[in-house]
Structure 1
Amino acid sequence: MSESLKLVRRVSAFCVGVALAACGADDEALISVSYRSDAIVPRTQTTVILSDGTRRYVITGAELRPADGIAIMRPTAMSGEAKANVSMSDAQGVIATGQLELPLMSDWVWGVEIHVDSVNPSRLCFGCVGSRSFPLRPGVGRTVRDSLWLTWGGNSIRNPVVY
């Protein structure tokens, strides 16, 4: 699949998620998570914990959507901070861990994407606010440059910017 087709699918999936979230949303805030690259570390070896100080959601790898799927959405508080903790492990132990802190506000959806690759995936991301890499356990991955990457971006729920 060409890079441009992958990009169109990613943008389309995000826009569909935002549109679904907007249905009936007055004062609401959301966070979504999706797993974008399955080849190096299978998503089934991943656990995500989303928390906003009041709510806590544990999302297992089996629940995460495969690449190009619609993200899992969860409601959050409308102020404060959300944390997205990602942990990958196998029978030999921890493969990688990473954490993001995101400011919460009403009428806002944050999208967090999980990637495992040797290059920063934000170069192909429209609307991304940032990305962070976290090292993989030595011996895991195709090359020593492979890392756990977390990218994030946000949008209004009621009045989303369409990229």
Structure 2
Amino acid sequence: MRRLLCVTAVSGAFLLSGAGCSSDEPAGTASAPTSVTPGASAPAAGGSAGPAAAGPSAGSGDAALSGNSEAICQQAAKTGGDAAKNFAQDLKLLIDAQSAQDADQVAKAKAKTTRDVENYSYALTDMSKLAADPALKAALADMGRQVTALKGDVTKLDADRLTKLQETLDQACGKG
């Protein structure tokens, strides 16, 4: 339980603070369309299953981002910030369910966490396919693989892993 609390504090604080540093624009003013990441945030609230939630509407966002490294970097930073919020909420939800010793709530919290991790990985991989810049393409694909390796378990996040993910994106976007 102490490890989970420690991970919550470290990962939540780091993700929330680190994600905001990736974009040069103030929050809410990013010019990139948000349709690339509906899987990253919509299932968390609605409970639909995984990456399929991106559906047909993702195509219109793809066209706007395709080959536009600056827009992809902005979208990746926004997606990372959204994922950070989801992960912090997921950890709190998991801790609360475990503290209440409610097996049903623990299972639901783990399922939500798994969905959120998979959605973030999917979004990173999708953005990598849109990138024309080889370094950005490789960085996003690598980040997607690293997030996939978590297998839905946000308790595996630590400060070193989060720092490396953020540094990878910053370097690929010319900010590091």
- The answer to whether TM tops 0.5 is no
Structure showing the higher strand proportion among its residues: 1
Query: Shorter-chain TM-score: which interval?
Result: under 0.3
What TM-score, normalized by structure 1, do the two folds share?
Answer: 0.27
Kindly indicate whether structure 1 or structure 2 has the higher relative contact order, using CA contacts under 8 Å at least 6 residues apart. Answer: 2
Structure showing the higher helix proportion among its residues: 2
